[in-house]
Amino acid sequence: MSQGMIFDVKRFAIHDGDGIRTTLFFKGCPLSCVWCHNPEGISMKPEVAYYRHKCKCCGACAKACPEGAHSFTEGGHIFDRDKCLGRGECEAVCPNSAIKYYGRQVTADEILPELLSDRAFYENSGGGVTLSGGECLMQADFAAEILSRLKEEGIHTAVDTSGYVPREAFDKVLPYTDVFLYDVKAIDPAVHKRCTGRDNSLILNNLKYISSRGAAIEIRIPFVPGYNDSEITAIAEFLDTVGGITKIKVLPYHNLAASKYEALGMKNTLPERVPTDEELKSAISAIRSAAPLSHLR
Amino acid sequence: MRILPFETAREFMDGQYEKVKEKSNEEKRESLYRAMRDIYDAEEHHILGKGKAIRYFFENTDVFVNPCDIFADLCDVECTPVRIRDDEHRARLCRSEDTKMLIKAGAMKAMADFGHTAPDWERVLRLGIPGIIAEARELLRAERETLGSTPEKCAFYSAVIEAYEGIITYIKRLRDAVSLTVSPSSDFTAENLSAIAERAPETLAEAMQLYFIFYRAQQFADGAVLRSLGSIDQLLYPFYLKDRERGVSEEEIRELMRYFLYKWNSMRTLANIPFDIGSEANELTYIIVSEYGKLSLPDPKIHVKCSDKTPKKLILMILELVKGGNNSFVFVNERVVISALENIGISTEDANNYTLIGCYEPSAVGKELPCTLNGRVSLPMATEFVLKRGKTYPDFESFFLEVMKEVSFFIDTAIDEVIRIERKYPDIVMTPILSATYTDAMAKGVDVYSGGAKYNNSSVCAFGIATFIDGLIAVKRAVYEDKLITLPALWDILAANWAGGEELRAKIRNSYPKYGSGDPEADALTSRVVHMLSDMVNNKDNGRGGVFRLGLFSIDWIFAFGKKLAASPDGRYKGEPVSKNLSASIGMDKRGVTGIIRSVTEQSHSLIPDGAVLDISLHPSSVKGDEGSEIMYGLLKTYLDGDGFAIQMNILSPETLRAAQKEPEKYRNLQVRLCGWNVYFTDLDEAAQNNLIDSMSEE
C-alpha cells in the first residue's frame, strides 16, 4: 500500500465542490503562484509553522525540542528553522496554539475512516470527498488508491487540481473521479509564468485531454487584479472550446494568508490588492458573454 | 372585514403592554389585593377561594383599549391573584441543609415551577369559555347528586365556574370599553368579543381573540408565565377553512395573521411565548411562516416539529429565514420526542399529541403537567467536589464512580427539594383556569397542581456536559494513563487557576480526546454518563403521582454557575462559563460542525424527556444562496436522521458581532439565538456577548 504526505483534513468543506464535503489536502505543489493561500502545501516535506502573534513566550516548546530549535532571549522567542527536523514535538505542548505542524505521512487505510465519517452528511446534501492541496496529482498513485476506495464505498469524489502534472497522473485517477475542479489562471504563457513560475501548455493540454476522455469539469479562475485580470476574456474564449465543463467559478483573490507565510519562514509573495465588487462583477460578465454556461457564480 | 390596515396600526401596537403598566394605580392595587386576599381566606377550600378571587379580579381590575389593535386584552395586571400564590409560596419555603449548602457552592438549584406547561388549547377553542362553564356546571350537578360526593370536588367545579365567569366578565368589560372607542376596528373587535362571551369561536378572528383572552387569563389569574400556545397552525386550521368557505380572502387571513403575530411579539417583555408548527404542514402553516418572516420578529418563538412527513419545502422556507437573521426557530425531532415521553410512562397516544414548552421541552397536551424547570445540577461541580477532598483513587474507574456518586448526591438533593416544595402545592397554587382544560382534572375534580393531570411530572436538568466529560478524560489521561500528575497535585494547580500548570493545560487542551469532536472514547464516556443520569432522574417518583424527567439543557445558567466553579481539569479557567447545552467546550469542537453533530447523535436522546438542544453557528459565507440552503438542510437532516433531539442555528459572523459591540446603535435589530431563545444581541450583557463570539471564532 502506498503512502501519502498530507497536511490537513477539512470536514464541512463547502467551497470545494457540491454539498457538504470533506477535503483532504495533499502536501507538495509544482507551482508557486504568487497569490497562494495554502503556502504550507507547497513543500513536500513536513514543516513547523510558528505564529509569533499567538506566542506568549512560555518556553514549553524549548523544553520539548531535542534539537534546540526553539530558544528564548530577552528579545523573545527565536525559532531556528535550520535546526528544526520537522518532527513537530513542539506543537502538542504549545498552550497558545502558536505552533502548527504541517505534514503527516499516512496510508489510505489510516485516512479512509476520517474521510468516510461524514458520509451521512454527504448523502443528505449531495456532497462527498475532495482531494486538494498542494497538488494532489503529484501523488497520483496515492490519490488513485484513495479515490478508488471511496468509489467502492459509493462516495462522490472530486479532484481539485492545477493541471500541472504528467498526463499519466490523470489516467490514474480518471476512472474514480466524479468531477475535476480545474484551475485555469491564464492563457498567455508569459502571464502564466509570471503568476505561477511555470508555463501553461501542459495545463491547457491536460484540460483538453480529460475533456476528451469525458470528464465532468468545474473550472475555477482565481481572479487577481494586477496579475491575471487581463486574461479573463482569453480564458473564457478558450473554455468555450472545451467540452464537459459543468460550471465556471471566479474565485476572488483574498489576502488573508499573510500570517502563514511569516509563520513558515517563507517570503510573502501575496499581492496587496483584492478585487473590488465592480471588478469581480465585470470579470463574471466577461466570462458569461464569452462562455455561455448557465452555472456561473 | 372593516379594520385599520395593519401597516398603519403596527407602530401603535409597540409597547402597548408597558404603557398599561404606567397607568396602573398603586392605591387601587393595594385595595384590590386586600379584597382578593379576604375572599381567598374566607373560603374553606383554597381552590374555591382562588376561583372567587379570580372572578373578583376580572370584575374590578382596570381594563384598557388600544384603538389601533384589533384584539382586546389589556388590563391592569400589576396586582393579580398571582400575589396570593407568591405569598403562600414564600411562607412555606423551607430548604434542607444540604440544599442550602449546594446552592451556596454553585452545585445545584431546585425550585417550584408554576410556569412551564400549556393548556389544552384544542378544548379551549372547541368549547369556548361558555362551553367550559357548562361542562363544569354539569359535573358539579352530577357530583352533588352522587352519594358520597366530596366537598373538595364540588369546590373545584365551583372554582372553575367562578373563574370562567370572571373571564366572561373580563371579555364583556373589554367589549364595553371597545364600544366606547372611536376606531375603524372597534365594531370588528366588539363583535368578536361579544361572540366569544356567548359561545365557542367560529371564525378565525374570534379564535385569535379567544387566544389572547385565555392566555392572559391563565397567566395573570392562575399565575403562570411561560405557557405555550400549542400547534397554532393545526389549532387554527379549522377556523381558517371555515373562513375561506364563507369567502374570506387569503389576504384578509394574512392581515389577521399579521395582527396576531405582532401582538404576541409586542407582549414579549412579559414572557417567553412559544408556539409550534406541526410536522404535517397545511396552507395555514405556510401563511404563518411567510408572514412571520416578513414581519421579521424575534417573538413569539417557533418550534418546528420535524418528522418524515415534514415537507422539505417548508424546512427550506424556514432555513431561508434563519439565514436572513431570524433566529426564533428551533427544530425538534418528533420521533425522538415521542419515544422520550414514552420512556417516562406516557402512552403512545398521549405522546403523539405533544407540544413544546419553554425552550424545547416536550409535553403531552392536556394530559401532562410537565414542570420542565424544577432542578438544575452543575455536572462540573461534582468533579470539583471530589478533587477538592484531596483523596487519591487507585484507578480512573474508582475516581469516575466517586464523581458520579457526587452527581447522584446533587440530583437526589434537588429531587428531595422539589418534592419538599411540591408536597405543599395544594396550599400554594390553585389553577382553576388551566385545570379545566385537562380532561382528567375535570373528571377527577382535582387541580392539576394537586395531581389532577393524568401525568403529574417534575424535572431535573443536568448541564455543563462537555466541560464535565472533557475534565473526566483529562483526569483519565493525565493522572492515570500518562501519569503526568497526581490527583491532589492537579487540584493544587486548579485551585491556583492553572498557575504553573500552563504546559499541562496545553497538553490537555491540544492532545486529549474531547466531547463533541467525533472521538470514540469521549463519545463512549458521554454515553455512559447519559445513561447513568437517566437512571438517577427519569421515572423517580415525585410523590404526587408523577415522575421526574431528565433534561440536558443549560439555558443561561452556564454563566452564574461558571462563576462559582474553580478552574476545571478540561483546561477551563476559574469563573469562565461552563459548556452550553449539548455544545462542545468553546474551541474544542475540533472536528467542526459535522463532528459535533455526529458525536451528539451518538447519544440516546430518548433518555432526555425534558429536552436537550444543540446550538450550531455557521458563517454566513458558508450558507449563501440555494446551495447554502441545501447545506443547512443536509446538516439538519443528518442530525434528525441520527435521532438528535433539537437543534438551533445561528448564521452570523464573529466580525458582525464585534462590530455590533462597538456600535450597538447600528445593530439594534441583530438577533442571536442564545441558550434556548433568541434575543437582540445588543440586549445581552458583555459576558454573554463575548461567550457567543468566542463560540464562533474557532472556525
Give the distance from residue B611's alpha carbon to the nearest chain A alpha carbon, in angstroms: 24
Using CA atoms in the order B224, B225, B231, B234, what is the torsion angle rounded to 10 degrees?
A: 60
A243 in any annotated domain: yes
- Least confident segment among A87-96, A202-211, A219-228, B289-298: A87-96
Q: What is the pLDDT of residue B201?
A: 98
B584: which chain A residues are within 8 Å (Cβ-Cβ)?
Answer: none
A168 shares a domain with A58: no
Say if the Cβ atoms of A11 and B507 lie within 8 Å. no
Residues 6+ apart with CB under 8 A from A234: A186, A187, A188
pLDDT (tens digit, 9 = 90+) per residue, A250-282? 999 988 888 899 999 999 999 988 999 999 999
Residue A199 or B691, more confident: A199
Note whether A27 and A139 are same-domain residues.
Answer: yes
In a domain, A81, yes or no: yes
Q: Name which of B300, B293, B203 is nearest B243 in CA terms.
A: B203
- Exposure b/e, B344-370, CB count within 10 A at least 16 = b: bebeeebbebbbbbbbbbbbbbbbbbb
What does the DSSP assignment read for A77-96? Answer: EEE-TTT--S--HHHHH-TT
A295 domain residue, yes or no = no
- Between A259 and B37, name the one with better pLDDT: B37
Q: Is the pLDDT of residue B258 over 70?
A: yes
> Within 13 Å and on the Cβ side, how many CA atoms surround B225?
11
Of B473, B487, B459, B293, the residue nearest B393 (C-alpha): B487
How would you class A286 by CB atoms within 10 Å of its CB: exposed for 0-12, middle for 13-18, buried for 19 or more? middle
Alpha carbon distance B180, B182 (integer Å): 7
Report the chain B residue with the minimal C-alpha distance to residue A297: B625
- C-alpha separations of B394 from B398, B468, B482 in Å: 7, 21, 14
Identify the CA nearest to B306 among candidates B274, B338, B344, B270: B338
The x, y and z cell numbers of residue B297, run together, are 420578529
Instruction: Give B642→chain A minimum CA distance, Å.
Output: 9
String of DSSP letters for B620-677: GGGG-HHHHHHHHHHHHHHHHHTT--EEEEEE--HHHHHHHHH-GGGGTT-EEEETTE
- Rounded to an integer, what distance in angstroms lies between the CA atom of residue B308 and that of residue B327? 23
Note whether A68 and A95 are same-domain residues. Answer: yes
**Complex ipTM:** 0.84
- The cell for B177 is 370599553
Overall average pLDDT of the B395-403 stretch: 98
The answer to whether residue A244 is domain-embedded is: yes
Measured between CA atoms, the residue of chain B closest to residue A96 is B506
Given a cut of 60, is residue B261 above it in pLDDT?
yes
Q: What is the pLDDT of residues A100-155, one digit of tens each?
A: 999 999 999 999 999 999 999 999 999 999 999 999 999 999 999 999 999 999 99
Co-location of A97 and A110 in the same domain:
no
Q: What value does the mean pLDDT take over residues B428-440?
A: 96
Residues A24 and A89 in one domain: no
**Predicted confidence (pLDDT) at residue B676 exceeds the cutoff of 70:** no
CA distance B439 to B340: 23
- Say yes or no to pLDDT of B697 above 90: no
What are the beta bridge partners of residue A104? A6
* Domain, as residue range, for A34: 3-44+105-290
In this prediction, residue A173 carries a pLDDT of 98
E-assigned strands of B209-285? 274-277
B21 φ/ψ angles, rounded to the nearest 5 degrees: -55, -40
- Shortest CB distance from B635 goes to which of A18, A60, A121? A121
- Cell 373571564 belongs to which residue? B167
Chain B residues whose CB is inside 8 A of the A96 CB are: 506
Nearest to B638 among A58, A91, A120 (CB): A120
How far apart are alpha carbons B502 and B499 in whole angstroms?
7
- Determine the average pLDDT of the residues in B227-249: 95
DSSP state of A275: P
Residues A86 and A183 in one domain: no
Closest CA to B318 of B620, B629, B104: B629
DSSP state of B587: T
Q: Is the per-residue pLDDT at B602 higher than 60? A: yes
- For chains A and B, count residue pairs whose Cβ atoms are closer than 8 Å: 79
A117 and A23, same domain (yes or no):
yes
Which of B478, B463, B554 lies closest to B509 in space, CA to CA?
A: B478
> Is B545:B451 a contact under the CB 8 Å cutoff?
yes
Q: Which residue has the cell 403575530?
A: B261
Eight-class DSSP state of B424 = T
What's the pLDDT score for residue B115? Answer: 86
Q: Would you call B635 and A127 a contact, using CB atoms and an 8 Å cutoff?
A: no
A17 cis-preceded (ω within 30 degrees of 0): no
pLDDT score of A51 more than 80: yes
Positions of E strands within B520-612? 548-551
Strands (E) in A64-142, as ranges, are 70-73, 76-79, 99-102, 104-107, 128-133
B331 in Cβ contact with B279 (< 8 Å): no
Percentage above 70 pLDDT, chain A: 97
| Predicted pLDDT of residue B46 | 95
By DSSP bridging, strand A128-133 and strand A157-161 are parallel
Q: What is the Cα–Cα distance from B410 to A244, expressed in whole angstroms?
A: 65
Torsions phi, psi for B416 (to 5 deg): -60, -40
Residue A292 confidence (pLDDT) above 70 = no
Q: Are B609 and B341 in contact (CB under 8 A)?
A: yes
Beta-bridged to residue B456, according to DSSP, are: B369
**What mean pLDDT do residues A190-214 have?**
96
Write phi, then psi, for B646 (nearest 5 degrees).
Answer: -150, 155
User: What are A49's strand-pairing partners?
Assistant: A100
Average pLDDT along chain B: 93
**Rounded Cα distance, A219 and A250, in Å:** 8
What's the one-letter identity of residue A295? H
Cβ neighbours of A19 in B, within 8 Å: 627, 630-631, 634
In this structure, the strands spanning B368-369 and B375-378 are unpaired
B592, A12: Cβ pair inside 8 Å?
yes
- Chain B residue nearest residue A124, CA to CA: B634
Res. B689: pLDDT tops 90: no
**Which residues from chain A sit within 8 angstroms of residue B594, using beta carbons?**
11-12, 20, 117-118, 121
Q: Are residues A217 and A148 in the same domain?
A: yes
Distance separating alpha carbons of residues A14 and A20, to the nearest angstrom:
5
Fill in the amino acid letter for B199. Answer: R
Q: What is the pLDDT of residue B677?
A: 65
A76 pLDDT band (50/70/90 cuts)? confident
**Most A CBs within 10 Å: which of B586, B631, B637, B641, as the mutation test of the A interface?**
B631
Looking at residue A74, which CATH number applies to its domain? 3.30.70.20
First to last CA, chain A: 40
pLDDT of B269 above 60: no
Give the span between the Cα atoms of B97 and B673, in whole angstroms: 37
For residue A297, is it within any domain? no
Chain B residues closer than 8 Å to A92 by CB: 506-507, 510-511
CA distance B155 to B453: 17
Interface membership of A57 toward B (CB under 8 Å): no
Examine the fold and report which residue of A87, A102, A117 is the final residue of a domain before the chain moves on.
A102
* Test mutation, A8, A10, A14, chain B, max B CBs within 10 A: A14
Pairing of strands B458-463, B375-378: parallel
Q: Which three cell numbers stand for residue A35?
A: 497569490
Within this chain, do residues A154 and A257 fall inside the same structural domain, yes or no? Answer: yes
Contact A87, A80 (CB under 8 A): no
The total number of structural domains in chain A stands at: 2
Find the farthest-apart pair of alpha carbons in chain B and give their distance in angstroms, rounded: 81
Q: Report helix, strand and coil shares of chain B as percent, to nearest 5.
A: 60, 10, 35
- Note the pLDDT of residue B699: 41
Question: Does residue B228 or residue B157 have the better pLDDT?
Answer: B157
Mean pLDDT of B438-444: 97
pLDDT level of residue A297 (50, 70, 90 thresholds): very low
Q: Number of helices (H) and strands (E), helices first, in chain A?
A: 11, 12
| Cell numbers found for residue B423 | 408536597
Q: Which residue of B has its CA nearest to A60?
A: B503
Sign of the CA dihedral B332, B334, B335, B339? positive
Chain B contact for A42 (CB, 8 A cutoff)? no
pLDDT of B454 strictly over 80:
yes
What is the least distance, in Å, from the CA of B107 to any CA of chain A?
29
B337 burial level (CB within 10 Å; 0-12, 13-18, 19+): buried
CB pair distance less than 8 Å for A12 and B511 = no
Q: Which residue, A102, A122, A141, sits at the end of a domain?
A: A102
Pair (A73, A194) in one structural domain: no
Residues A25 and A95 in one domain: no
3-state secondary structure of B68: coil
Which residues from B are below 8 Å from A118, CB to CB?
594, 598
Higher local confidence (pLDDT), B665 or B469: B469
pTM of this prediction exceeds 0.80: yes
pLDDT greater than 80 at residue B696: no
CATH number at A285 reads 3.20.20.70
The set of residues, in sequence order, having a beta carbon less than 8 Å from that of B660 and lying 6+ positions away, is B666, B667, B670, B681, B682
Q: Considering the domain boundaries, does residue A116 fall inside one?
A: yes
Interface of B with A (CB under 8 A): 502-503, 505-507, 509-511, 518, 591-595, 597-598, 622, 625, 627-628, 630-631, 633-635, 637-638, 641-642
Element holding B439 (H helix, E strand): helix B439-444
Residues in chain A closer than 8 A to B627 (CB atoms)? 18-19
- Condensed to tens digits (0 to 9), the pLDDT of residues B570-600 reads 999 999 999 999 999 988 888 889 999 999 9
Closest CA relative to residue B277, chosen from B265, B292, B262, B267: B292
In a domain, residue A241? The reply is: yes
Average pLDDT over residues B281-286: 96
Give a yes or no: residue A296 inside a domain.
no
Contact B353, B123 (CB under 8 A): no
Q: What would the grid cell of residue B443 be? A: 373528571
Q: Is A134 left (phi over 0), alpha (psi -120 to 50) or beta?
A: left
Helix (H) or strand (E) holding B20: helix B16-23
Nearest to A95 among B506, B631, B633 (CB): B506
More confident residue, A293 or A140: A140
Question: How large is the C-alpha radius of gyration of chain B?
Answer: 26
Query: Is B74 within 8 Å of B18 (Cβ atoms)?
Result: no
Give the amino acid at A163. G
Percent of chain B exceeding pLDDT 90 equals 77
Mean pLDDT of the region B318-340: 93
* Contact residues on chain A for B316, CB-CB shorter than 8 A: none
The last residue of a domain, from among A57, A74, A102:
A102
DSSP type of residue B81: T
| A295 pLDDT tier (thresholds 50, 70, 90) | very low
Cβ(B304)–Cβ(B329) below 8 Å: yes
Cis peptide before B300 (omega within 30 of 0): yes
Cα gap B473→B657, rounded to integer Å: 33
By Cβ distance, the residue of B502, B509, B594 closest to A121 is: B594
Same domain, A37 and A82: no
Q: Are A92 and B510 in contact (CB < 8 Å)?
A: yes
